[in-house]
Chain A
């Protein structure tokens, strides 16, 4: 029964993925992509990775979908078609991709058991981190350096997006609120949903220490709520030179970095935590990160500033 469900899910995933590649209309392709993302979230549950399922649903499908749908809508009518490859080159590309697929499939079939795993080691050391969720322990203790650098990657992507602003609009606002005409329904949801969303986001961030969830998922929910109220026109998009906004962006990574360096003096070194305070420190970092992630993801989806704020 379970196998039949898996096979059905896989056929759907591959079928929908192929449909997305061949379908003509960009907007339709984007909608298919959102559906694909939701199916992926189910696949992650089937693979016993609930943390990832939440991330996939929130980021992979949710906010990426919002971003791409907005872009597809804005590009409608613009002549964005690049040059089509000639038929022989297309065939070569198809053969190449099929070969890569085949070799990956071979690897998937060739892998033998027992599979190597770090699960026991991750569990043995869990006590020292004070956390109950081993995925959070990997993200914020064992491999905290990756997570810290990844936060910098996010900020940098935002600087990259901003850098595309026309010079006269620097210090202006993203034009997000003009892309979707505010409608009554959107405004309705924008007033009803955020309180629940904010509570849910706080819960997600808090519970991430011991259960699936955490700063990424919580921050993304916050970002989606923020985007919603901006798109509905309930709240204005901020100017990118707003001092408060920039502090919000930096707060999480900065606290992470400071806690990291504090570890040199109170624990084993950079990004190490004394076991007694580990959980408190990590939860504090996660809370700050959730806010920064929300601001960064929201602004990434909102795009570069395009005009100056109206007084």
Chain B
């Protein structure tokens, strides 16, 4: 079995684990952790594809390698936004600090989530 195939299997295991964590874990921060695990699994598959495409004196195809770099940066941005949402939702002091100037009515979603 080649290095690429081995890491391909690793990638599939990580994707399964990460997806399971995102769906099942009740804690929002751990959902985000699991999402990062899932992302790592997907990125690893890019690495496998790149490694398989080794040619022209390169150890791997540079196109998927470059795509992963973009992907990792986007995943970080997603993590940062999700974490900010979680903190705003659950952190006691931040929660109290909410003063909504907009008490206009389009917002009455609360009671309506039947």
Q: Establish whether residues A161 and B36, one from each chain, have CB atoms under 8 Å apart when the complex forms.
A: no
What are the residues of chain A within 8 A of B9 when measuring CB–CB? 10, 105, 108-109
What are the residues of chain A within 8 A of B52 when measuring CB–CB? 111, 113, 115, 117
Report the Cα distance A44→B100, complex, angstroms. Answer: 47
Instruction: Return A249 CB to nearest CB of chain B, in Å.
Output: 13
Q: Establish whether residues B12 and A52, one from each chain, have CB atoms under 8 Å apart when the complex forms.
A: no
Interface residues of B in 14-33 (CB under 8 A from A): 14-21, 23-30, 32-33
Interface string of B30-64 (1 = CB under 8 A from A): 10111011001001110111111111111111110
Q: Establish whether residues A21 and B99, one from each chain, have CB atoms under 8 Å apart when the complex forms.
A: no
Q: Establish whether residues B3 and A2, one from each chain, have CB atoms under 8 Å apart when the complex forms.
A: yes
Report the Cα distance A63→B89, complex, angstroms. Answer: 22
Q: Establish whether residues A157 and B81, one from each chain, have CB atoms under 8 Å apart when the complex forms.
A: yes
Q: Establish whether residues B28 and A120, one from each chain, have CB atoms under 8 Å apart when the complex forms.
A: no
Q: Establish whether residues A29 and B28, one from each chain, have CB atoms under 8 Å apart when the complex forms.
A: no
Q: Establish whether residues B10 and A109, one from each chain, have CB atoms under 8 Å apart when the complex forms.
A: no
Report the Cα distance A44→B88, complex, angstroms. Answer: 35
Q: Which of chain A's residues has its CB closest to B94's CB?
A: A306
What are the residues of chain A within 8 A of B11 when measuring CB–CB? 104, 108
A246 in contact (CB, < 8 A): no
Which of B50, B66, B90 is within 8 Å of A80, CB to CB? B90
Residue picked from A17, A105, A297, most chain B C-beta under 10 Å: A17
Q: Establish whether residues A109 and B69, one from each chain, have CB atoms under 8 Å apart when the complex forms.
A: no
Q: Establish whether residues A21 and B37, one from each chain, have CB atoms under 8 Å apart when the complex forms.
A: yes
Q: Establish whether residues B65 and A49, one from each chain, have CB atoms under 8 Å apart when the complex forms.
A: yes
Which of A6, A17, A102, A143 is within 8 Å of B66, CB to CB? A143
What are the residues of chain B within 8 A of A116 when measuring CB–CB? 53
Which of A26, A111, A160, A161 is within 8 Å of B27, CB to CB? A26
Q: Establish whether residues B72 and A134, one from each chain, have CB atoms under 8 Å apart when the complex forms.
A: no
Instruction: Return B34 CB to nearest CB of chain A, in Å.
Output: 6
Interface string of B56-92 (1 = CB under 8 A from A): 1111111101111110111111111101111111111
Q: Establish whether residues B65 and A14, one from each chain, have CB atoms under 8 Å apart when the complex forms.
A: no
Q: Establish whether residues B69 and A29, one from each chain, have CB atoms under 8 Å apart when the complex forms.
A: no
- For chains A and B in complex, what number of residue pairs have CB atoms within 8 angstroms? 293
Instruction: Return B63 CB to nearest CB of chain A, in Å.
Output: 5
Q: Establish whether residues B92 and A78, one from each chain, have CB atoms under 8 Å apart when the complex forms.
A: yes
Q: Establish whether residues A82 and B28, one from each chain, have CB atoms under 8 Å apart when the complex forms.
A: yes
Report the Cα distance A4→B20, complex, angstroms. Answer: 28
Q: Establish whether residues B29 and A216, one from each chain, have CB atoms under 8 Å apart when the complex forms.
A: no
Report the Cα distance A40→B75, complex, angstroms. Answer: 15
Q: Which of chain B's residues has its CB closest to A21's CB?
A: B21
A33 in contact (CB, < 8 A): yes
B110 in contact (CB, < 8 A): no
Q: Which of chain B's residues has its CB closest to A137's CB?
A: B62
Report the Cα distance A49→B58, complex, angstroms. Answer: 10
A35 in contact (CB, < 8 A): no
Interface-lining segment among A164-172, A188-196, A228-236, A268-276: A164-172
Q: Which of chain A's residues has its CB closest to B40's CB?
A: A40
Q: Establish whether residues B24 and A85, one from each chain, have CB atoms under 8 Å apart when the complex forms.
A: yes
Instruction: Please list 24 pairs of residues, one from A and one from B, whose beta carbons are closer than 8 Å in the complex, sorted by A's number.
Output: A10-B10, A13-B10, A17-B17, A21-B18, A21-B21, A74-B91, A75-B91, A80-B27, A82-B26, A96-B19, A97-B17, A105-B8, A108-B11, A119-B55, A119-B60, A123-B56, A135-B62, A139-B70, A157-B77, A161-B81, A167-B100, A297-B76, A303-B83, A304-B84
Known: A52-B68, A113-B52, A117-B54. 14 other contacts (CB 8 A): A10-B6, A17-B37, A43-B10, A47-B50, A63-B76, A67-B76, A71-B87, A79-B90, A80-B90, A81-B26, A93-B20, A101-B12, A120-B55, A147-B70
For the complex of A and B, list the 9 residue pairs with the smallest distance between their C-beta atoms, beginning with the closest.
A48-B59, A108-B8, A117-B53, A101-B16, A104-B12, A138-B66, A157-B77, A115-B52, A134-B62
